[in-house]
Structure 1
Amino acid sequence: MNVSLRSTPALLNMSGNMPPKVPPVFNEAYRLAAQRVLADFEPNDLIGAHQFCGSERDRAAGARFVSRRLPEVPSVDRIVVANGTQSILVMLLAGLVGRGRQLVLEALSYPTIRTFADQLGFGLSPVPMDEEGALPDAFEEVCRADRPAAYYAMPTLQNPTTATMTIERRRTIAKICQRYGVAIIEDDIYSLLPREVPPPLSAFAPELSWYVLGTAKSMAPALKVAYVVAPTAAAATERFWPGVRATYWMCAPMNASVVSTLIETGGSDRIIEAIRVETRARQAIVAERLVDADLRTRPDCLHAWLSLPNSRPASDFLADVRALGIDVGASSTFAIGDIAPPNAIRFGTGTPRDRAAFERGLDAIVKVYLK
């Protein structure tokens, strides 16, 4: 008996918010950086042993990289080089929050934080939001009532809502954290594509802040290089070394060295600019085709937040879009705690491999939205 097996076509992933691929620029810059590393270093010396916290060179490159956003270049001894942002978050959430304590964050936030909370045994204290992010009065009330150990902050192009705090909001939130002794874990990963955004929240309370800046959203997801700036050199040592050898937060020396070379030679600048240009081109198409929609995004953001009419539940919208071969994210994915999620979806602009695939996905979203 012959059985015909038909494979189900893969959905076009627009639920993620990766940066768009820019092969002509990225490939040349990366190849040159990798070749230079292999020419400048003996491979066995480079990767023959762990480089906990990163080599002196890699931490100096990290300091230069984060200074794109911070008011000044931090001292190298405050920098830790790690295997991506998630690895940093695991270390900080375990060390600064820990079992039985509370983490405050926006009511809609990065969903992996829920996974970390379950694994590490800490509670989540969600805060209501407006178009800038956490509402100050509500934030202070949570700090007063729950006494959270830390605040997971994403004040620039917040995931998923694209909310961006003004300088005034950042100052207010920082003062509340100072008043209640709440550590700030600032994930600034979306901040490098916009040309003009306010200084990091960490700049307003540096003594409390752990500033995190990775390369996944501005260069390439699998580079797996991210930097954390500790409040002090002693704090960096305490949280990341010694006594943490049973984890996998350390960055592979080859990865770190290639990214350091990209930073030193300007290759990172060229890659970020190319991704910025492609992102702006795709967002211009979004703005044109959803001109009358209740849409929150900006020209240099990797995702868009689309509110739906009450007559169109998000679950139905997702099913209709999936029927057209496209996958987008429901607001419920990002909801923290018992707060009812708004009737909205998030879709990314960069995950489709090229402009044609992106337009095909966007056409499906628009078709279902106008249905």
Structure 2
Amino acid sequence: MFIPDISGRPGPKFQALADALAEAIESNELKANSKLPPQRILSYRLGVTVSTITRAYQELERRGLTEPKVGSGTYVKDREAEQQSFYNPITTRSGIDLAVCRPLLLSQQHHLSTALQELSLEPVAQKAVLDYYSADGLQGHNQILQQWLSKKMRSEIDNRRLLWTYGGQHSLTTIVQALTRPSDTILVEGLTYAEFIRTCQHSERKLVPVRMDDQGIDPDDLELHCKRHKPRLLYLTPAIQNPTGIQLNDSRRLKVIEICRRYKIMIIEDDVLYCPPENRITPIVAIAPDITFYVGSFSKYFAGGLRVGYIVMPLHLKNTMEKALRASCMNISPLMTDLVCRWLRNGAMEAVDNEIAMELKARHRLFNQYFHQPNPATVPGFNCWLKLPEPLTGYSFSKQLSDKGVVVREAEMFTVGRYPAPAAIRISLTGPSSRNELKTGLEIIKNEIQRSS
């Protein structure tokens, strides 16, 4: 039985006892879920009244260190378990999740802790990030983003063309709301990002799919639809196509730009998905800045919970975009953008980028042990596009895998309108937190394919 020493402690005895027990709990001398001594026994051993012990135990409970259990006594709280319970998501997906596409958490927690400690020592910064601003944001934040993007794109970026957003999805919604009206036509790749499809459906924009092949979007079919539908926008993911992973080559990108210029169509270049450093190419916005909206996000390059993105926009549409941003959220939280800028400035973003790239290579090696579908146009990003043998379809096979405890994305989720859905599934290599879990999921998929074909 633990009996604390309260001799020599100043103040009321109940306070001295509470402090002594609190120190024992914090130092783990009194472990989580351990029972405190019965009040009468402790009263006798310390030579104090029972009411003193009662007040001390009440003080510990007030501090959140203990909890009374009726008929049993007072116990040290398991604060770690309590905290884990507090931060559990309301909705969880059971089984092996090969559907969610997210950066793996590697050293990000350390960088978050460091950045918050730095911020706690900077009163000027604290006051700034807690204030209220226009859509323009803070000057220093824009300068850091401008310098980082200019280096990344190997092209000087005017910081007046930058707009902070709450991630890629918010960027896309803002652009669609700013530049189109209900019933306007937007051209998209036949297989495209599912949430963009939902955005356009919800806002009553008309999506027209453009044919794709193993090299990406087909320029001839793009021109055909430009003539036929008079679209306002073209949405595409040229650096790493979602869901197929195809990268649009230089020849096709130049053809796409030429067609869009000729038919006066603005381009939304979605570059949100993580692309390994060795596969990064000059974005379309660096070639055609006057007709391109470039959408980037740190949610896929640093941490999924970091809902911070940005738009690089044509300068002549700055006022239009700022009005649309104010209509959706007034302004972006300067606290979140400040954290991002600290990581851009101190090298944390680059360090995490390299860590993700290394882990991703290991996971692709694991994937290739089970499936090997070479296509020189694809990029080894977070996702792998797996074509299925007959008679399987993406929809039926995803249901089959779900029954086995494995969750994937079927091709049908990415199809636009009546565009024919290929027999395929999208597998996210970064959904599982461990390689062993990924390996188990891949084994199940391979076994189910062999059993069904």
Query: Secondary structure at the residue paired with 2:327?
Result: coil
Corresponding position: 1:156 with 2:239 = yes
C-alpha separation in 1, matches of 2:271 and 2:195? 16
Shift of 1:128: 0.5
Matches within 5 A, 1:324-363: 324-363=404-443
Shift of 1:298: 5.4
C-alpha separation in 2, matches of 1:52 and 1:130? 40
> 1:165-202 deviations in whole A, cap 9, x for unaligned?
11111111011010101001111112542323331122
C-alpha separation in 2, matches of 1:21 and 1:155? 26
Is the 1:150–1:184 Cα contact (8 Å) retained in structure 2? yes
Using the TM superposition, name which of 197-206 and 40-49 deviates more. 40-49
Query: Secondary structure at the residue paired with 2:426?
Result: strand
Paired letter, 1:11: G
What is the aligned counterpart of 1:145 among 211, 228, 244? Answer: 228
C-alpha separation in 1, matches of 2:199 and 2:395? 26
C-alpha separation in 2, matches of 1:107 and 1:166? 18
Query: Secondary structure at the residue paired with 1:370?
Result: helix
C-alpha separation in 2, matches of 1:255 and 1:16? 23
C-alpha separation in 2, matches of 1:297 and 1:285? 20
- The 3 A distance-change label for structure 1 pair 313 and 249 is farther
Paired letter, 2:224: E
Query: Secondary structure at the residue paired with 2:108?
Result: helix
- The 3 A distance-change label for structure 1 pair 99 and 315 is closer
**Structure with the greater alpha carbon radius of gyration:** 2
Matches within 5 A, 1:65-214: 65-190=148-273, 192-214=275-297
Paired letter, 1:185: I
Match of 1:3 in 2: none
Match of 2:357 in 1: 276
C-alpha separation in 1, matches of 2:104 and 2:302? 9
Shift of 1:119: 2.2
Superposition TM-score, scaled by structure 1 size: 0.91
Is the 2:272–2:295 Cα contact (8 Å) retained in structure 1? yes
> 1:78-103 deviations in whole A, cap 9, x for unaligned?
11111111111111011112212111
Paired letter, 1:317: F
**Divergent runs of 4+, >4 A:** 293-299
Structure 1: which 5+ residue stretches go unaligned? 1-7
- The 3 A distance-change label for structure 1 pair 257 and 51 is farther
> 1:201-246 deviations in whole A, cap 9, x for unaligned?
22232110111111111111111111111111x42232113x6533
Shift of 1:159: 0.3
C-alpha separation in 2, matches of 1:209 and 1:244? 18
What percentage of aligned pairs have identical amino acids?
23
C-alpha separation in 1, matches of 2:97 and 2:146? 34
Corresponding position: 1:12 with 2:67 = no
Query: Secondary structure at the residue paired with 2:386?
Result: strand
Shift of 1:253: 1.1
Shift of 1:370: 2.4
Superposition TM-score, scaled by structure 2 size: 0.75
Using the TM superposition, name which of 85-94 and 352-361 deviates more. 352-361
C-alpha separation in 2, matches of 1:125 and 1:66? 31
Match of 1:238 in 2: 320
> 1:252-283 deviations in whole A, cap 9, x for unaligned?
11110000000011110001111111111101
- How many residues align? The count is 359
Shift of 1:108: 0.2
Paired letter, 2:278: R
Structure 2: which 5+ residue stretches go unaligned? 1-91
Q: Which has the higher contact order (CA 8 A, sep 6+)?
A: 1
C-alpha separation in 1, matches of 2:375 and 2:116? 41
C-alpha separation in 2, matches of 1:72 and 1:9? 42
- The 3 A distance-change label for structure 1 pair 339 and 306 is same
RMSD, matched Cα: 2.1
Query: Secondary structure at the residue paired with 1:333?
Result: helix
Shift of 1:71: 3.2
Match of 1:4 in 2: none
Shift of 1:51: 4.8
Is the 1:161–1:296 Cα contact (8 Å) retained in structure 2? no
C-alpha separation in 2, matches of 1:305 and 1:11? 20
- The 3 A distance-change label for structure 1 pair 239 and 9 is closer
> 1:120-155 deviations in whole A, cap 9, x for unaligned?
221011100012211010001111111110111200
C-alpha separation in 1, matches of 2:245 and 2:431? 17
C-alpha separation in 2, matches of 1:56 and 1:20? 31
Match of 1:370 in 2: 450
- The 3 A distance-change label for structure 1 pair 90 and 33 is same
Is the 1:295–1:305 Cα contact (8 Å) retained in structure 2? no
Using the TM superposition, name which of 74-83 and 297-306 deviates more. 297-306
C-alpha separation in 2, matches of 1:366 and 1:68? 42
Query: Secondary structure at the residue paired with 1:278?
Result: helix
C-alpha separation in 2, matches of 1:297 and 1:179? 27
Is the 2:246–2:379 Cα contact (8 Å) retained in structure 1? no
Query: Secondary structure at the residue paired with 1:74?
Result: coil
- The 3 A distance-change label for structure 1 pair 296 and 252 is farther
